Structure 1
Amino acid sequence: MEAGDLWKKALNILKEEINRPSFDLLFKAIDPVSLDGTEFIIRIENTFKYDAIKRRFYDHLSNAINESYGSSLKLKIVGLQSNKLASDKRETKDFYKFTFDNFIVGPSNELAFAASKQISDFYNSDFNPLYIYSDVGLGKTHLLLSIHQHLLRQNKNSIYISSERFTNEYIKSIKERKTEEFRERYRSCDALIIDDIQFLSGKAQTQEGFFHTFNELFLNNKKIVIAGDDPLKLVDLETRLVSRFQSGLVVDIQIPDFETKVAIIEHKLDYFKLSLSKDIIDYVANLCQVNVRQIESIINRLKAMASLTNHAITIENAKSMIVGFDEIKIRNKPEPSLVLPAVAAATGVTEDEIRSNSRSEKTVLARRISCFILNRDLNLTTTASGSILNKNHASVINGVKYIENQIKKDFKLRHNLQKVRNTLKIN
């Protein structure tokens, strides 16, 4: 019997055993490769079909082939790599370097880390879904990829994808009339991990598709992990989606404290096999105020300097190299006169109100943000800062201390502060 004849007979049997939509969707345009009396090989180039058949219909297909052949054959399916890993490698070239083992835990991220570890244990987590939010560059993607890899090691069909790519695939499936394949891919997985959920803002049709996918997975006890830049009350998504996210666990990652940044730097140095003195490590930790990614950029720069010049890295040439590197320059200092207009635009409080003696909660907060930016970001003295704000230096000191204390635990405050910094181009 030829391979093609065996394949036709097996399909006729299979057609009677599985539902017609699945048969029509999955088993057309598949090529039999060879038949040698002990093994029958078929080729499936479509990754969606490959995964679905191996996961759901392998036994059905194997039985149909053996019945058609009249004796036992080993069924071998060849084709592209399973989309569990292939899609992830396309999503990020650094896929394998993000693990729980190399995530540096500190007070700013310990709850998010613990929650991520628990939900990655497929059968023993107490909550679902998990929503993680933070400013950019603080470790959300690292945790998501760690969850993803841990689930894959449990032989779970986990999909990690950015919401931008999810949107693009959804639009493509509509254009190519392949929405059934799209739905099957995402609704048949064991875990769906979506990064940068804020990208779905304003995309009503994609949100509709994601809502139904979410419900299908949730009702079947599949894991759902979502990450975004904003707390749920600030996320511009449909209310019913936000409500679904709130039904699980919501955690944030805060800006790391000095000690955690030092630990991150030391870990990166070990990874890059680079040695720096304590004064340089402390300098870098103090320099990187808002974004952990800046640490790796700085270390890459210093490593290149050491290898290309064969010179030891001192605090003097480290400072020179870092300040001259525009992509990671931490402190761009705008004119002080621009600060109050930027704060006013971000908070809705007028410049005159900021300078006034008003004690309204909104005005006081705007004034304190102004104190912090003038004194900490622009390095003005408390007296000079007070002169701009029509306040004495003691008021500036109190305002700065308040922001320093609250910024560690108040995401909305960090969000507003970052809006002002972005306006002023303070990196």
Structure 2
Amino acid sequence: MLRRKKSPQFHCGKIVNNFTGNGYMSAQIAEDVWSNFVSFMENRCSRAEFENWIAPIEYVDGSDPVTLQVPNVFVQQYLLDNYKETLNNFFPKDKKGEPLISFLIKEQEKQKKKNSPPPKPKKKTDFGQELFFNTSYTFENFIEGPSNQFIKSAALGVASRPGKSYNPLFIHGGVGLGKTHLLHGIGHYVKKHHPKLKIQCITTEAFISDLVHHLRNKSVDKMKRYYRNLDILLVDDIQFLQNRLNFEEEFCNMFEALINQNNQIVVTSDKPPGQLQLSERMVARMEWGLVAHIGTPDLETRVAILQYKAEQTGLHLPSNIAFYIAEHIYNNVRQLEGAINRLGAYCRLMNLAVSKEVVDSILSEMFQAPVRSKISIDRILHSVASMFNVRESDLRGSSRTKEIAYPRQIAMYLAKELLGESLVKIASSFGGKTHSTLLHAWKKISAQLEKDDVLRRQVQMTRQNIEA
């Protein structure tokens, strides 16, 4: 547990310093910001990294600058070398871009009082490993959308009836889209509803480390007995098993043993099984059950995520600002969370309300620019056809019905915006239309975008799908 000392700024539980308009923090705000930083790092670091480098740091004082106590100079240096940018997102910085934080070096460890109660032991598995599930990663706070609704339902089905369906469940998708969240959500659900079941959640790297340890200690049989007696095994980032044949073989044997006993396995990866550099045997085993993809959240889902995260941190985020941020940050959920943390910290420290100007100032470097090199007319037509439920051939055709002509004009607008080609060449892709027809369509859609929020969101979603 992180230990904190009471600041001299506190007296009988009352705050002496208050937040000022000059950007200084009151003692309470400073301590809250430090708590937010610690919670943020706990969700982002590995457990070992957090316990070694973040947890030993003590909050001491909230005056300007904030004072932290570190056990030694190495912890201070590690914090500044590796997390300076994150610290700057939470705390003010000086003219040189350094976080306004003062450090006290702890000369020696204080002796604990003899009558102090012993610390509560961490919950461990029978194997002696700590069983840790992130408290923020539950099914209840997983924001659903078209890109992840199916996979969340599958994960909930596995958690409700382990070993009965979707076994193994293989979840794959890009970084920061919620794979680990679902894995830990399964763990929380099982612990609550099936407390007698033996469950383990482990990263692939941790599994490899365990195997190396037991090989050195000649206790591999003990490790095998432990894993093969589990009711549920959750494995994160299986891609790290690539090009490690000996470890892969042992994992595959364990995998088969659990499946043959109808014990549940859930695996996550950044790629589908067929794209991993693993043996055919391993790939075939992982494709036995359900292979499900978790995609990039759409605009409405990103807005819901932003609003939920803002509510959790006590930040008032107007709907129009949420849409503005979601339209410019769309690769993954972690970036959205980082944007809210950065925005919330700045607004609290500077006593500002959230506005478009503040967002542009604080988050502009996180905004993502479109990549045009891969965009083609075929891609544009495909995305528009999917959005408006029409056929691509109709967009290239001559039908003048509103159901076809309107999406065609949107496709022409996007083509002019995204393709660096002549109007004549672009227009010819729409069934031989003239450049004047294309220009008319572009002007019409441009004018409607100024006043039609629904159209603006539809075009934005289509554009992001094209640029993805």
SS at 2:359 equivalent: helix
TM-score normalised to the size of structure 1? 0.60
1:352-367 residue pairs with structure 2 within 5 A?
none
Partner of 1:13: none
How far off is 1:116 after superposition? 0.3
How far off is 1:311 after superposition? 1.5
- Given the superposition, is the C-alpha separation of residues 394 and 141 from structure 1 closer, same or farther in structure 2, using an over 3 Å criterion? farther
CA distances 1:336-382 after superposition (whole Å, capped 9, x unpaired) = 7xx47xx9xxxxxxxxxx99xxxxxxxx779999xxxxxxxxxx983
TM-score normalised to the size of structure 2? 0.55
1:187-202 residue pairs with structure 2 within 5 A?
187-202=228-243
Partner of 1:134: 173
1:194, 1:226 within 8 Å by CA — same for their partners in 2? yes
- Given the superposition, is the C-alpha separation of residues 388 and 233 from structure 1 closer, same or farther in structure 2, using an over 3 Å criterion? farther
How far off is 1:79 after superposition? 8.0
CA distances 1:273-311 after superposition (whole Å, capped 9, x unpaired) = 110112210111111221111110000011101211111
How far off is 1:82 after superposition? 2.4
SS at 2:233 equivalent: strand
Q: 1:103 aligns with which of 139, 142, 167?
A: 142
Indicate the structure with greater helix content: 1
1:386, 1:393 within 8 Å by CA — same for their partners in 2? no
How far apart, in 1, do the equivalents of 2:380 and 2:205 lie? 34
How far apart, in 2, do the equivalents of 1:223 and 1:245 lie? 12
Q: 1:387 aligns with which of 383, 403, 421?
A: 421
Partner of 2:306: 265
Q: 1:208 aligns with which of 226, 249, 256?
A: 249
Partner of 1:251: 292
CA distances 1:162-198 after superposition (whole Å, capped 9, x unpaired) = 1121122212222232211221221111111111111
Letter in 1 for 2:172: Y
- Given the superposition, is the C-alpha separation of residues 142 and 123 from structure 1 closer, same or farther in structure 2, using an over 3 Å criterion? closer
Partner of 2:156: 117
- Given the superposition, is the C-alpha separation of residues 384 and 119 from structure 1 closer, same or farther in structure 2, using an over 3 Å criterion? closer
Unaligned runs of 5+ in 2: 1-119, 384-413, 431-437, 439-457
SS at 1:120 equivalent: helix
Partner of 2:315: 274
How far off is 1:207 after superposition? 0.7
SS at 2:175 equivalent: coil
1:9-408 residue pairs with structure 2 within 5 A?
81-83=123-125, 87-89=130-132, 95-122=134-161, 125-153=164-192, 154-155=194-195, 156-324=197-365, 329-331=366-368, 339=373, 382=416, 385-387=419-421, 391-392=425-426, 395=429
Question: Once the two structures are aligned, what percentage of the paired residues are identical?
Answer: 30
Partner of 1:48: none
How far apart, in 2, do the equivalents of 1:170 and 1:389 lie? 62
Partner of 2:74: none
Letter in 1 for 2:255: F
Return 130-139 or 79-88, whichever deviates more: 79-88
Query: CA RMSD for the aligned pairs?
Result: 3.7
SS at 2:265 equivalent: strand
Unaligned runs of 5+ in 1: 1-77, 344-353, 356-363, 370-379, 409-413, 419-427
Letter in 1 for 2:357: E
- Given the superposition, is the C-alpha separation of residues 83 and 389 from structure 1 closer, same or farther in structure 2, using an over 3 Å criterion? farther
How far apart, in 2, do the equivalents of 1:136 and 1:317 lie? 28
CA distances 1:87-145 after superposition (whole Å, capped 9, x unpaired) = 333xx7xx111111111111111110110001112457323110111111111110000
1:99, 1:143 within 8 Å by CA — same for their partners in 2? yes
How far apart, in 1, do the equivalents of 2:326 and 2:464 lie? 17
Count of aligned pairs: 291
